[in-house]
Amino acid sequence: MKQDMIVILDLGSTENTVVAREIRDLGVYSEIHPHDITVEELKALDNVKGIILNGGENRIVDGVAVEIRPELYDLGYPMISIDYPASKCAKRLSELPDKETLKQFIFDECKAEANWNMKNFIEDQVELIRKQVGDKKVLLALSGGVDSSVVAAMLIKAIGKQLVCVHVNHGLMRKNESESVVKIFRDELHANLVYVDATERFLSKLENVADPEQKRKIIGGEFIRVFEEEARKLEGIDFLGQGTIYPDIIESGTKTAKMVKSHHNVGGLPEDLQFELVEPLKQLFKDEVRACGIELGLPHDMVYRQPFPGPGLGVRCLGAITKDRLEAVREADAILREEFAKAGLDKKVWQYFTVVPDFKSVGMKKHERCFEYMVIIRAINTIDAMTATIEKVDWDVLEVITNRILAEVEHVNRVCYDMSPKPPATIEFE
């Protein structure tokens, strides 16, 4: 079923996403488009029922006030304008509309139907993917993260074996994560999956490298090289699947907003790898991506996976990476996740993980003096990752986790709990 759409034209508002979310919450699909959209571009969009001209503080660009193309007024779409003085709309508001005003515009004036839901969205995207790709092949870097996993599931539903997934295990994944990717996508969803175990290759490149930025560069650069090598082995690939989501696009800037950060989803692939992009999630917010994954039948654990840095455990094994400390981080992290799940904290805490520093402390094991590493536990809550507070974990739960780590993880004789909020601390240690 084609979903009705309300188009929001960005005329300098800083709250486009707020309006878009409110419309979607009412069960109607919404998209944000630039102020200078043409008549042809607007008509090419499916099922547009109405337009919101959303002005605001960024309407002056390079000394000139941005305006919509005058011919858009003649198309007959119901329109309202918000904080846009140049508007010729009959209905002009000076601030964001309340829910009742929005409902009246969407349902009474635009005659839109509340048919925005994940089932319909997936059907629409499957049709669009098939139309775009035809009988060609799509290449996807499948990390096992939420976005790439949901894109993979969507592409499998749309084009099946025409999708080629490449999963690179750089040896810095959490416990059983690569195995889980293979089990779900190759064994259960029957994906065309290329699995590359590059553990030794990555660890040898990282040997004796202690600087965090240098580690990140090596891991990112090596990933691109491995992915490129695998891509060159394949024939007939015309498309590259990417897990771009709406916040990625926002952070890359619009015509009336400054760039927060450049968006590189796969991360600087070589220019001579010429692919057309397939980005079926690019209009979804993160919670909608998760809802999409559940609708597509992905496991809850994968869809609600913890935020995980691109370099993986490489930035949680502090300093120069060694195999014994890397294994200690992996095992301690698995215990932490298991016990948080048992205590129901996995649904309450935004992010939790372990790190192992590159120094030792004295202790006692089996009635003998030992000199071993410590595990630091971090559990934080945040809304936007710009600031973060500490989760006050029950002492009994911490005691269980501590006892298990000390009993089950080799080369460790001490467990600490990080009490530092952000700021001054950051979420990750490196």
Mean pLDDT of residues grouped by 10 in the chain (430 residues)?
88 88 94 92 92 86 83 94 89 90 96 93 93 94 90 96 94 93 92 94 95 92 88 87 80 47 44 79 89 94 84 94 96 97 93 96 91 97 85 97 97 97 92
Give the pairing type, strands 137-141 and 237-241. parallel
The pairing of strands 412-417 and 368-381 is parallel
| CB-based contacts of 391-399 (< 8 A; 24+ apart in sequence) | 391/345, 391/348, 391/349, 391/352, 393/345, 393/417, 394/343, 397/339, 397/340, 397/343, 397/345
Residue 138 is which amino acid? V
Question: What's residue 80's pLDDT?
Answer: 96
Tell which residue, 256, 20, 279, has the closest CA to residue 148.
279
β-pairing, 48-55 with 60-61?
unpaired
pLDDT at 81: 94
- As a whole number of angstroms, the distance between CA 429 and CA 357 comes to 9
The encoded tokens of residue 378 equal 């971090």
pTM of the model: 0.78
Q: Which of 62, 56, 68 is nearest to 12 (CA)?
A: 56
DSSP alpha helices (H): ranges in 319-424?
A: 323-342, 395-408
* Amino acid at position 397, single letter: V
Round to whole Å and give the CA distance between 65 and 85: 10
Burial class (CB in 10 A: 0-12, 13-18, 19+), 111: exposed
pLDDT at site 260: 34
Q: Is the separation of the CB atoms in 249 and 33 below 8 Å?
A: no
User: How far, CA to CA in Å, does 415 sit from each of 58, 145, 354, 378?
Assistant: 50, 28, 10, 11
Rounded Cα distance between 397 and 303, Å, is: 25
pLDDT attached to residue 267: 47
Q: How far is the C-alpha of 394 from the C-alpha of 397, rounded, in Å? A: 5
Distance CA 212, CA 428 (A): 11
Count of C-beta atoms within a 10 Å radius of residue 375: 27
Side chain identity, residue 368 = E
Give the model's pLDDT for residue 269. Answer: 54
